[in-house]
Amino acid sequence: MFRRGITGAFHSSATEVKAAEEIPDLALARMRQSMEKLGLSNQEFSDATLMRFLIARSMVVEKATEMIVKWREWREVLVPNGFISESEVADELEARKIYLQGLTRRGHPLLIGKTCRHYPSVDKIQFKKFIAYVLDKTIACSFRGQEVGNEKMVVLLDLKDISFKNVDPRGLITGFQFLQSYYPEHLDRCYIVHMPVFFISVWKFVSRFLDKATLEKIVILTTEEEHEDLVEQIGDVLPEEYGGKAKLVAIQDVTLGSSL
């Protein structure tokens, strides 16, 4: 629940709200004012970062400010040190199921998940930390030097050879909800390949928990032509098994600051 007292910082007329929705600069200014009233440092967030939250909440300042407050509270609990160490997610990394490739033609890091190597986690907290570790590291690979705040990523979920023991609806929902709630507008596109018939009902269930903006970024590839388009859009960093030229690189083998 949103903390009591916070809504007191959000008094504004209908005219002001409408103007903020229409003018990004005004929305940013009003959001910074709201954050100041809540004791949040304006220097901590770039305009690009705040704009991600505003876009995720349709440029409504009150909702965007509430969202960033909840994000900060979430980070303080799950990522108290500012980062997730590999020792905290050792069990999840051992499966070598997540791969971090280079930058796509549009300059976005490519994240690949092989679901046939995933099994529902017994340690739910470690799994949540693992998702944060994966997303944080992927975003960090998209820039050299200082983070801008508007970085994007491309995700490829490979369902090849998946069996019933690998099916984890709750895990999928958690991953996408993290993207929606705590990494807004960081997802550029999510491609799903090799979806078996039995998984269609699972996906329909998972989709019920995703918002419209997220669903619009998800592409399920079913035809050869769509796969050819994927190769063209991603470029050489796409692994060979998907039609590219690269080798798979497990995320724990990627060193930040190096060329992937």
Query: What CATH code is carried by the domain that includes residue 52?
Result: 1.10.8
4-18, 126-140, 180-194: least confidently modelled range: 4-18
Mean pLDDT of 61-86: 95
Q: Say if 1 falls within a structural domain.
A: no
Q: Are residues 155 and 236 in the same domain?
A: yes
**What region does 159 belong to: left with phi over 0, alpha with psi -120 to 50, or beta?**
alpha
Residue 182 has pLDDT above 70, yes or no: yes
Q: Say if 73 falls within a structural domain.
A: yes
Q: Say if 209 falls within a structural domain.
A: yes
Residue 37 has pLDDT above 80, yes or no: yes
Which of 127, 128, 86 shows the shortest CA–CA distance to 250? 86
Helices (DSSP H) in 95-243: which residue ranges? 124-140, 169-182, 199-207, 212-215, 224-234
Which pLDDT does position 142 carry in this prediction? Answer: 83
Q: Say if 179 falls within a structural domain.
A: yes
Rounded (5°) CA angle 188-89-168: 60
Residue 57 has pLDDT above 50, yes or no: yes
Banded pLDDT at 106 (limits 50, 70, 90): very high
The residue ranking higher by pLDDT, 210 or 7, is: 210
Domain count of the chain? 2
Residue 7 has pLDDT above 50, yes or no: no
Residue 258 has pLDDT above 80, yes or no: no
Q: Are residues 43 and 94 in the same domain?
A: no
Residue 257 has pLDDT above 90, yes or no: no
Domain that holds residue 24: 6-78
The answer to whether residues 106 and 240 touch, using CB atoms and an 8 Å cutoff, is no
Question: Which of 78, 96, 113 is where one domain is finished?
Answer: 78
Percent of the chain with pLDDT over 70: 89
Which residues have C-beta within 8 Å of that of residue 92, sequence separation ≥ 6?
Answer: 121, 126, 127, 130
Mean pLDDT of 126-149: 89
Q: Are residues 71 and 99 in the same domain?
A: no
Which pLDDT does position 41 carry in this prediction? Answer: 80
Q: Are residues 210 and 120 in the same domain?
A: yes
Mean pLDDT of 154-165: 97
The residue ranking higher by pLDDT, 102 or 2, is: 102
Q: Are residues 96 and 183 in the same domain?
A: yes
Over the Cα atoms of the chain, what is R_g? 19
Q: Are residues 17 and 113 in the same domain?
A: no
Encoding tokens for residue 33? 């004012």
Cα–Cα separations (whole angstroms), residue 253 to 37, 93, 101, 124: 43, 10, 11, 24
Q: Are residues 198 and 240 in the same domain?
A: yes
CA distance 147 to 219: 28
The answer to whether residues 140 and 100 touch, using CB atoms and an 8 Å cutoff, is no
Q: Are residues 126 and 218 in the same domain?
A: yes
Q: Are residues 42 and 113 in the same domain?
A: no
Q: What is the pTM of this model?
A: 0.88
Indicate the average pLDDT of the chain: 89
Q: Say if 141 falls within a structural domain.
A: yes
